[in-house]
Each structure stands twice: as structure tokens, then as C-alpha cells.
Chains A and B, each alone.
Chain A
Amino acid sequence: MATAPAIPLAAAPMVPAHVPAHLVGSFDIHNAPEMAQDPFAFVSRLHAGPDIFWSTDTMRDGTGDGCWVVTRGELMREILGDPSRFSSKGEAGFSKLIGEDWDMIPLEIDPPMHTAFREILNPILYPRVVARMTEGVVQRANDLIDQFADKDGCEFMSSFGTPFPISIFMQLMGLPQEWMSVFLVWEEDLLRGATPARRVAAAKAIRLYLDTLADERRANPKDDLASLVVTSKIDGRLWTDKEVIGALYLFFVGGLDTVASSLGWFFDFLARNPEKQQWLRDNPQEIPHAVEELVRRFSVVTSRRRCTRDLDFHGVQMKQGDWISLTYSAGSLDPSAFDNPLEVDFHRKGVRHFGFSFGPHFCIGTHLARREMAVALRLWLSRIPPFRIREGSQVARHGGGVFGISHLELAWD
């Protein structure tokens, strides 16, 4: 392990006594200026520094505490694969934000209870269920493309990147389509609200809305995820109110952002790399594999785990209660696992990325996400001529807990 932190601080703030000074650094995924340009390049610079260091500015849950940052894929697998040492309880911390104490289910609970909840929820997103949804997914993509196919360009996120995956997810979960713009404001404020007050207000609004949704579905169950959550049983009993809100909250937050953010990065990349775009046009049968490589190159999520006891992790002394932040792109761009990790190489073999996490909390929506991404690329490339970033426009990119794009003007002839 190298001894100098990736980005040394001029003056180190207070850090816990067990953290050696030479491992203290900065990794501000929320506010560092470079996050607005290229968060993935910012992340990949971590690999010049130590594999494990203490960051004073990565976490943003109101406590101001520092956390460990792990930069290597193999270390991430070890952490994500061992919930007995590294718990996900409190991972996102939205309930704490509003003074409550429920866990997001199944993300914020550990095995064995995690396994029981996951067994109930898995079937709603199984590949064969997703396969049945494909016709609707294709229809939705075509409907959106119809709106701008005969124009000379569009703002990608509002025209396609956001409404395409989100409308599909809303239908799956049982959220009313006409509320989409409201949900998106809440989601934006919750994940990227500029002040704690905005994040708290959004967290409360989502909580109240989901309470209402749960009540509605208890009274009148439908064929959707919300109804499954309020009607299914665990250990022979209905889920508690806390368990219901925890599950609905996780799906709401996870379903409304990640695929849209990923598509933003994919289309930003293809607009700036015409030869890659052309290769996909010429080789549409390779799109599913290309999706895997794009998810590797642009792994958008940062998660975290908490030490369940004092432990020695590869020579670093960690204390019970210490958080370990896991920026998945650091694992997906780890040069010890991938040659030229920042290169998008559609021929790359063994693309073992962290875009859907790893271990027991592996993304439950992975099959739907992959399907949506492949359909988006296939239909877009078959219907829209070669596209580029519109001349004179600015792409708005951002860091945070989910790296994303908020404005992307595309143009074509």
C-alpha cells in the first residue's frame, strides 16, 4: 500500500485517534469542482494513492463524520461479501434524516432477515417477468423517440433519459404516472438538495406519500410491487409498518434515479465518441455486451458499510461503528483488474464490474436495468442518425451519491 493519500489536505481536520495521520485525505464526491466535469476521472485518480484511506469529506448525512474509503475492487468484494463484519444497517440513512428508525428493506438489513425479505421481493424482477415487460419497454422507448425523431436534436435527459426508465419503474411499483414530475423533484432534493433542510423536506414528503400509497393498496390491492409489499407475509405474519415503508422507500429511491443517470452517461459518451457510436450501429447484436462495458465504465452509485466490531482490515485498524464508503466506480475502474480502465472497449472480456454492487445486496433490478439500457441503445441507434453534443451547449454533470447528468443537448443532421 502506498503511504501518501490520493489528495492530501492542506490542514487535516479532527480525525479519530485510531486513524493514522498519513492515511487522512479528501474525497469530496459531492462538492469537489471536478465532479461537475468528470467524476469518473476524479475517482480513478484514487488509484495513485493508498488502497484504504480516511476521508474527512465523503459522507454527507449531517453528522460531519469522516469515513474510510476503499479504492480497490478486491477489497470491495471482501467487504460487500461479509455482512458479519461489514453491516449495511443505516446505509442510506434516510429514516435518520427525519428522526425515524426504520431500515430500507432489503438494502439496510443483513442476513438472515435480509434473505427472507429478498426471497419475497426477487420474483417481481425475475428475468422471465422482465421478459414479459419487454413489449411495453420497447413501446415506451418508441413513443418517446417519436416525439423528436423528425427534429434536429433534443435535450436527452428530459426527452428520453429520465422519462423512459422512470415511467416503466413507476408502472411496476404502482406509482401514478401523472405524479412523475413531483417525484423527480423530491428525488432530486433528497439525493442532491443543496441544504439539509431541502433533503429533510424531501425525505418527509416521500415518507408521507408512500404511507398513503401503502394504505391505498391495503384497501385495494393491485398487480404491482406496492401491493406485494403490503399483502405478502414473512414468518407467517404481515410486514410491520416500518418494514413496509422501508421497502417502498428503497424501491422509490433506487428505481427513480439509477438507470436514468446511467443512460445520461452512456449517451454523453456516445455523442462525444462517434466511432464507438458507429460501431454499435454496425454491430447491434453486440449491444447487450456493450451495456455491460458501459455499466463498468460508468458505475454511478456510492454505497457504504459499517464495521460491526474493531478489526484489522489489510493492516488498517478500524473501529466498531466506522463507516467504509464504497464508490463503485473505483472498483469498476481499478487498473489492477482492467487494462486501460477509462477506455470503453466493447471487446473487453470478463467485465466484472461493480455497477450493480456485489454480494447479498446485488441489485435486485439488474435484469430490468440491463433490458432497458439495451432497448434504449438499440432503438435509439436504429431510429436517430449519428448524433453529437449540440454546438455551443454545456453538458451539466454532477457527482454525489449517484453520479449523473442533468442536462445534455444532443444534435443530429
Chain B
Amino acid sequence: MAERVSGTSTLAEVERPASTRLTIVSRDGTAHDVEAANGESVMLAIRNHGIDELLALCGGSCSCSTCHVILDSDGMARVGQPEGDEADLLDGSLHRSPNSRLSCQIQVTPELAGLRFTIAPED
């Protein structure tokens, strides 16, 4: 899926993908290829793909910490460290790792292409 703006050749008008492919690993270890719309949150991409075990109870308000995912080190370098409320909420998880994020706070961008997000065990 890509939207093409044609007709001229300026830099802004090169092919821009509308979505990015992510890999979501559910709690049973299954890897799911998910085509995620750019601009939405990784949490929504996971839920829209029908992976219901990611509860995201608060709906993306950064209040509940039930959308916890774990990345690999390369992924962490690309999405960045959690800050503020998100870091504080993650501190409460039994499954906090150095590569933990709340998926509602990560925006899907083309830079995330191919990243693996593993859904953290339930607290």
C-alpha cells in the first residue's frame, strides 16, 4: 500500500508509504505480520489486527499500562526511551525490561519498518 503523488519530481513528492509492516509476537510466541497505518499508535495497530490479548484498557490515555510491549535493542534505538508518565507506569510492571515501552505511546512511522514488538506477560 503506497500513495503516489505523480507529475513532478521534487523531493517532497517521492513515493510515500501509507503503512508500515511490523511484527507482533503474541504471548504464545506466534509472530504476526501487521500492516500498520502510519500516524496511528502501535497499540491501535495491534488491536486493529485482532490481537485481543493486548488489553489497552484505558484506550491510549497512558493511564493503565496494559499495552506493554518489549522491543529488541535495535528497536529501542529507533523508537527511543519512555519518558514521564510512561516511564513511571512501566516502573510498576513486574515484567519491565530495559526495552519496555507502552505501545499506545509509539507512533507508527516508516522508520519502524520490520521492528518486532513482543507483548509483555500480564502483570
Contact among B52, B59, B63 with A366 in the assembled complex (CB-CB below 8 Å): B63
* A349 B93 Cβ-Cβ under 8 A: no
Binds A, one of B70-78, B83-91, B106-114: B83-91
Instruction: Decide yes or no whether B123 CB sits under 8 A from chain A.
Output: yes
Determine if A358 and B91 form an interchain contact, defined as CB atoms under 8 angstroms apart: no
CB closest chain-B residue, reference A128: B91
Q: How many residues of B contact A (CB 8 A)?
A: 19
Query: How many angstroms between the C-alpha atoms of A364 and B88 in the bound complex?
Result: 14
Q: Within residues 331 to 373 of chain A, which ones have a CB less than 8 A from any CB in chain B? A: 349-353, 356, 358-360, 362-364, 366-367
B61 at the interface (CB under 8 A from A): yes
From A131, A352, A360, A364, contact of B57 by CB (8 A)? A352
Is the Cβ of A362 less than 8 Å from the Cβ of B63? yes
Say yes or no: A126 contacts B57, CB within 8 Å.
no
B58 within 8 A of A: yes
Distance A356 CA – B91 CA, assembled complex (angstroms): 20
Which residues from chain B contact A122 at a C-beta distance below 8 Å? 63, 85, 88
Q: State the Cβ distance, A303 to closest chain B Cβ, in Å.
A: 14
Contact code string A38-65 (vs B, CB < 8 Å = 1, else 0):
0000000000000000000000000000
Contacts of B53 in A (CB 8 A): 349-350
B55 at the interface (CB under 8 A from A): yes
Task: Determine which residue in B63, B64, B91 has the highest number of CB atoms from chain A within 10 A of its CB, and name it.
Answer: B63
* A362 CB contact (under 8 Å) in B52, B64, B91, B123: B64
Given contacts A349-B53, A350-B53, A358 and B59 within 8 Å (CB-CB): yes
Residue B122 interfacial (CB < 8 Å): yes
Q: Give CA–CA (A288, B65) in the complex, Å.
A: 14
Instruction: Select one of B59, B89, B123 contacting A126, CB under 8 A.
Output: B89
Q: Whole-angstrom distance from the CB of B50 to the nearest CB of chain A?
A: 10
Q: How far is the CA of A289 from the CA of B66 in the complex (A)?
A: 12
Q: Is the CB of A360 within 8 A of B61?
A: yes
How far is A362 from B123 in the complex, measured between Cα atoms in Å? Answer: 18
Q: Which of B31-65 contact A (CB under 8 A)?
A: 52-53, 55-59, 61, 63-65
Partner of B88, one of A77, A123, A351, A356: A123
B57 near A358 (CB under 8 angstroms)? Answer: yes
B65 close to A362 (CB less than 8 A) = no
Chain A residues with CB under 8 Å of B57's CB are 352-353, 356, 358, 362, 366
Residue B92 is within 8 A (CB to CB) of chain A in the complex: yes
Q: Report if A80-B92 is in contact (Cβ < 8 Å); known contacts: A289-B122, A352-B52.
A: no
A321 contacts the other chain (CB 8 A)? no
Contact A358 B92 (CB under 8 A): no
Question: Which residues of chain B have C-beta atoms less than 8 A from A235's C-beta?
Answer: none
Known: A360-B61, A362-B61, A362-B64. A127 touches B55 (CB 8 A): no
Task: Give A188 to B46 CA distance when docked, in angstroms.
Answer: 42
Indicate the member of B59, B65, B91, B123 with the most A CB atoms within 10 Å: B59
Contact assessment for A119 and B92 in the assembled complex, using a CB-CB cutoff below 8 Å: no
Q: Are B85 and A127 in contact (CB under 8 A)?
A: no
Interface membership of chain A positions 285-319, coded 1 if the CB is closer than 8 angstroms to chain B and 0 otherwise? 00011001000000000000000000000000000
For A405, the chain B residues whose CB sits under 8 A away are none
Does A16 count as interface, using CB distance less than 8 angstroms?
no
Q: Are B55 and A358 in contact (CB under 8 A)?
A: no
A362 touches B58 (CB 8 A): yes
Q: Evaluate whether A127 and B92 lie within 8 angstroms (CB atoms) in the complex, with A122-B85, A352-B57 already known.
A: yes
B64 touches A80 (CB 8 A): no
The residues of B that contact A127 with a CB separation of less than 8 Å are 65, 88-89, 91-93
Bound-state CA distance A349–B119 (Å) is 14
How far is it, in angstroms, between the C-alpha of A216 and the C-alpha of B46 when the chains are bound?
49
Q: List the A residue with the shortest CB-CB distance to B84.
A: A119
A20 interface residue, CB < 8 Å from B?
Answer: no
CA distance A119 to B64 in the complex (A): 14
Quick check: is A33 within 8 A (CB to CB) of the other chain?
no
Task: Say yes or no for A13: interface residue by CB 8 A criterion.
Answer: no
Q: Is A230 an interface residue (CB 8 A)?
A: no
Partner among B52, B85, B89, B123 whose Cβ is within 8 Å of the Cβ of A288: B123
Residue pairs across A and B with Cβ atoms less than 8 A apart, 5 shown, are A81-B59, A349-B52, A358-B58, A362-B64, A366-B64
- Given contacts A127-B91, A128-B92, could you give 18 more A-B pairs where the C-beta distance is less than 8 Å? A77-B59, A80-B59, A123-B88, A126-B91, A126-B92, A127-B88, A130-B92, A349-B52, A350-B52, A351-B55, A352-B57, A356-B57, A359-B58, A359-B61, A362-B57, A366-B57, A366-B64, A367-B65
